[in-house]
Structure 1
Amino acid sequence: MADESGTAVILAAGEGRRLEPLTNRRPKPMVPVANRPLLEHVIEAVAAAGIDRIVLVVGYKQERIRNHFRDGDDWGVTIEYVEQSTQLGTGHAVLQAESAVDGPFVVLNGDRIVDAEAVSAVRDRLRDGDAPLVTVTAVESPRDYGVARIDGDRVTEIDEKPEGAVDTNRINAGVYGFSPAIFDAIRSTNTPGELAITATLNELAERGAVTGVSYDGRWLDVSNLWDVLTVNAALIHDSDHARDAPAAGRRVGERVTIADDVVLAGNVRVGPNATLSGATAIASNVTVAANAVVENSVVLPDAVIGPGAVVRDAVVAGNARIGPNATVVGGASTVVVGDAVHRDVTLGGVVGDNATIGGGATLTDGAVVGDDVRADAGVVIDGRVESGAVVRRG
């Protein structure tokens, strides 16, 4: 099975609960940014690195991934699928690919976007020996990720949840290079609960057996809902990754303002006097009605933004309806995710699939509206509304 171009194993089985409601109907790697799924950007980086064989580890809502990518021919690669039927950690996910590889291979996360250079650097270093490789990159907030401690070119520790002061800005970038020996190492890892690949790497690092590969290119991670907007904007501002679809079926009314940093899919309808701006992605079959304003937002297929509506810093999911003159206020918000409180994040609001926001309603302070919600005209929503709920006035 091995070949000169190598094999990439992409981990795409996860659910992504912190991204609910967007992940209620789609796995996290299929959440769209710049009008294409996260996973598509990852696959394109692998293909651009010259790797033409991909093993996708799929699980949660896997039919969405299989139906989109099929055999990989549209991306110039061959895609095979292996299933992680229960999500028991990234190490367990890698283990599911054992039957599909028989030589050195690269591992990537299906929800983190990197440049092709990160993939090719690891692939090329794999030819030098059997030591596991870990890409290391610098970020502004290392505490949010797996902090990587380095001694020369050796990784001495990957600390997933650092406590106390963090003495480095370098993190595990989530691109790995392994020989088939990693499978026995994973099986012998002594860890309770979910089996993370970093637990195996830390055991190997104690024996001086993990090599770091420095990487200073693009590294875009979607962990929380507001990251969808940040990553969408980063991709739109890079012309290599963002592109308008062919204009087939697109209908744009008179006196419409569409900024340069807006990407439109096909079959989009934009009414007269509408304004689209600020790193906005409008997916297929979306309607933006007359006099509406959409700014720094991601709008998924079949959604409708009603006449005079104002939608800022928002994610509007598939087939959602924003009523006439409704407002998603936008700006800095405080958002609660599980037990964690995140302050000063840019998220006007999220509207789940098939939800309807009534005319004149207002979403403020990072409101998160679940799937199939019905919100009456004129209501004000400033928190989290569970899927299927009805929000009434008064």
Structure 2
Amino acid sequence: MKKAVIMAGGQGTRLRPLTNHLPKPMVPILSRPCLEYIIHYLMSYGITDIAMTVNYKSDQIKDYFGNGESLGVTITYFDEATPLGTAGGVKNCEYFLDEPFLVISCDNIATIDINKAIQFHQQKKGIATLILTQAEDPSLFGVVKTNDQGKIIQFIEKPKDPPLHLNAINTGIYILEPTILETIPPRQKIDFGKDVFPNLLQKGIPLYGYSSESYWRDIGSLKSYCQTQFDMLCQHHQFPTINKLFSTDHIMIDPSTEIHPTVEIEPPTYIGAHCKIGPHVRIRPHTILGDHVTISQDSILSNTIVWSHVNVGNNVHLDQCIVCHYTWIDDHTHIDRSIITNQCKHSPFT
């Protein structure tokens, strides 16, 4: 399998205010756009011909990734004048999809073995295979019930009160045959989970679910966005493009960063490129610094994610915060549980 569709057109409303001026695919994960991880993930399985559905602030995505050549892939963009939903967006790529293909959302971070899922799909010879995982709270996702052969017998999109025995959820990663596109009407807003899959089941067309216990997380909420990065820091799972960057003590510091000898750093921590960290600064666990971050003396950061091009003044205390690009934090500022934007707005972080 060489082709994939990355759905990158959503507005990321659950991530606001992070996405007020930034499309969700460009929200940084350990100083890189989330979308970059997904592209590397697909590349690791030989999937290099990528269709990308875009809408909200798509120029930022195109400017950063271009045609994909710098990453070793080919990207073809499919613009949606108005949002078409998950299935409608894929239908919009129809001429590109002349062979079996994979669909993945721009906010999925996973270590699921795609090759095993493809083998399962080929064995079952169905029109669609949904990759499934387990969730503590399945009400946030599409719940899927399968039989012993992996055939889907029930699909419930985000149930309010799911039965206790139903906790297999739809990850939003699909392996599809191009014939499925014939079942999707053109130029309409339509969703796989709410519309296409239930309709196919009703018509008796077999769908299959491939269950995986590997890591998967949807970063579409603020809580999940932070937790995904903390998971990467702790290295509880194998992230091929990330784990090789870390030392054995769960600290990654880019060689270009300048750190005063009096600085205290507690793992797990990530510090990006070209940072400058002044005297007597304390970097406590679960702190992530993007590129070109300056932290002046006597400041303390803990459980905080700082994006790139940020200046933190003297004696600043940040705890459980997200600091967005191009932000200046004045001396003697103490902030906790907030999102700090470059308009100097402090939004409560819950």
Same structural fold, with TM-score higher than 0.5 when normalized by the shorter chain: yes
Q: Aligned to 1:39, which of 35, 47, 52?
A: 35
Q: Which moved more, 1:127-136 or 1:98-107?
A: 127-136
Deviation track 1:299-319 (CA, whole Å, cap 9, x = no partner) reads 111112221111111110011
Asked if 1:88 is matched to 2:97, the reply is: no
Distance in 1 (alpha carbons) for counterparts of 2:260 and 2:290: 17
The residue type paired with residue 175 of structure 1 is I
Which sections of structure 2, spanning at least 5 residues, go unmatched? 246-251
Deviation track 1:70-117 (CA, whole Å, cap 9, x = no partner) reads 222333222222112211311111112111110110101111111151
Asked if 1:308 is matched to 2:315, the reply is: yes
Q: Aligned to 1:174, which of 172, 175, 182?
A: 172
The residue type paired with residue 230 of structure 1 is Q
Other-structure match for 1:115: 111
Q: SS at the partner of 2:38?
A: helix
In the TM superposition, what is the alpha-carbon distance from 1:134 to its structure 2 partner? 0.4
Q: SS at the partner of 2:184?
A: helix
Q: Aligned to 1:258, which of 254, 258, 265?
A: 265
What TM-score results when the alignment is normalised by the length of structure 2? 0.89
Q: SS at the partner of 1:230?
A: helix
Asked if 1:234 is matched to 2:215, the reply is: no
Q: Which moved more, 1:144-153 or 1:286-295?
A: 144-153
Q: Aligned to 2:142, which of 131, 140, 146?
A: 146
Q: Aligned to 1:356, which of 328, 344, 350?
A: 344
Distance in 2 (alpha carbons) for counterparts of 1:263 and 1:83: 35
Distance in 1 (alpha carbons) for counterparts of 2:119 and 2:43: 15
Deviation track 1:172-205 (CA, whole Å, cap 9, x = no partner) reads 011101111111112299xxx8411111011112
Other-structure match for 2:98: 102
Other-structure match for 1:341: none
Asked if 1:196 is matched to 2:191, the reply is: yes
The residue type paired with residue 199 of structure 2 is E
In the TM superposition, what is the alpha-carbon distance from 1:237 to its structure 2 partner? 2.1
Distance in 2 (alpha carbons) for counterparts of 1:116 and 1:245: 28
What TM-score results when the alignment is normalised by the length of structure 1? 0.79
The residue type paired with residue 30 of structure 1 is M
Q: SS at the partner of 2:288?
A: strand
Distance in 2 (alpha carbons) for counterparts of 1:111 and 1:328: 28
The residue type paired with residue 215 of structure 1 is S
Q: Aligned to 1:27, which of 13, 20, 23?
A: 23
- Structure ranking higher in helix proportion: 2
Distance in 2 (alpha carbons) for counterparts of 1:116 and 1:7: 17
The residue type paired with residue 218 of structure 1 is Y
CA 1:102–1:176: 2 relative to 1, 3 Å: same
Q: SS at the partner of 2:7?
A: strand
Distance in 1 (alpha carbons) for counterparts of 2:189 and 2:283: 44
Structure with bigger RCO (C-alpha 8 Å, 6+ apart) = 2
Distance in 2 (alpha carbons) for counterparts of 1:96 and 1:320: 38
Other-structure match for 1:247: 255
In the TM superposition, what is the alpha-carbon distance from 1:158 to its structure 2 partner? 2.6
Other-structure match for 1:325: 332
Deviation track 1:138-167 (CA, whole Å, cap 9, x = no partner) reads 011111111112223111233223133433
Aligned residues: 334
Q: Which moved more, 1:197-206 or 1:126-135?
A: 126-135
Q: SS at the partner of 1:81?
A: strand
Q: Aligned to 2:282, which of 256, 269, 275?
A: 275
In the TM superposition, what is the alpha-carbon distance from 1:251 to its structure 2 partner? 2.0
Q: SS at the partner of 1:356?
A: coil
State, as a whole percentage, how many aligned pairs show the same letter: 25
Distance in 2 (alpha carbons) for counterparts of 1:13 and 1:141: 26
Q: Is the 8 Å Cα contact of residues 229 and 313 (structure 1) preserved in structure 2? A: no
Which sections of structure 1, spanning at least 5 residues, go unmatched? 330-347, 358-362, 369-382, 384-394
In the TM superposition, what is the alpha-carbon distance from 1:208 to its structure 2 partner? 4.6
Other-structure match for 2:248: none
Distance in 2 (alpha carbons) for counterparts of 1:284 and 1:187: 44
Distance in 1 (alpha carbons) for counterparts of 2:127 and 2:344: 53
